[in-house]
Amino acid sequence: MMNYIWSGMICIGIIFACINHNLAGFTDGLLDSCTRAVEFVIGLAGVMAVWTGIMKIAERSGLIDLAAKKVMPLIKYLFPKENDKETIALIMMSFTANIFGAGNSATVFSLKVMERLDNQNNHNSVANNSMCMFIALSMSMVQLVPITVIQIRTQLGSQDSASVIVPSIIVGLISMAASVIVCKFYEYKGVK
């Protein structure tokens, strides 16, 4: 689908450039955008590499295990029917990666969690409560340091790119609370 959208946008741009007799401007803009996109991706990859390394250090030092023990009662409340320790560990790793802003690392764990939850759900076409709760929380997870947003703001010349940290934490907590409330409401109502 995205291929069609991008192809359509490029075709429309070429048509308007031809109509306005500014094909050279279109070409310059296209090449400039490609250059800036590569610079942005390289800068973002560096930040992601740092945070992925920090996550590995936290994992090997036992910090993640310590955090998992502290929040286990909360995990058992959110996923009451989940008894598989490996699935719970993967949930914790996904949430921890999201909280520390390493979204790319969280994706790997999230896919593994959903695969395990889908196996437990017998590959049913309807998601169970645990699957819905996990997706809702993953999508609304608070980030202590929203590195992607900070990186974008820095590259676009923001004077105080880190000023989004406190507002994003507040909004993240509100959206997480709303996600839990909605999921638990439908769980208690008996909707799968």
pLDDT of residue 192 exceeding 60, the answer is: no
**pLDDT-above-90 percentage for the chain:** 11
Mean pLDDT in residue range 160-179: 89
Cα 132 to chain centroid, rounded: 16
pLDDT of residue 22 exceeding 90, the answer is: no
| Residue 104 vs residue 16, higher pLDDT | 16
Q: Give the pLDDT confidence score for residue 105 in this predicted structure.
A: 67
pLDDT of residue 61 exceeding 60, the answer is: yes
pLDDT of residue 164 exceeding 60, the answer is: yes
What residue numbers bound the domain in which 175 lies?
2-15+24-189
pLDDT of residue 50 exceeding 70, the answer is: yes
Of the pLDDT bands very low, low, confident and very high (cuts 50, 70, 90), residue 71 is confident
- Number of domains the chain contains: 1
User: Model pTM?
Assistant: 0.64
Q: Give the pLDDT confidence score for residue 13 in this predicted structure.
A: 86
Q: Give the pLDDT confidence score for residue 177 in this predicted structure.
A: 93
Count the neighbouring beta carbons within 10 Å of the beta carbon of residue 154.
14
Give the tokens for residue 53.
């390394």
- As a whole number of angstroms, the distance between CA 143 and CA 98 comes to 6
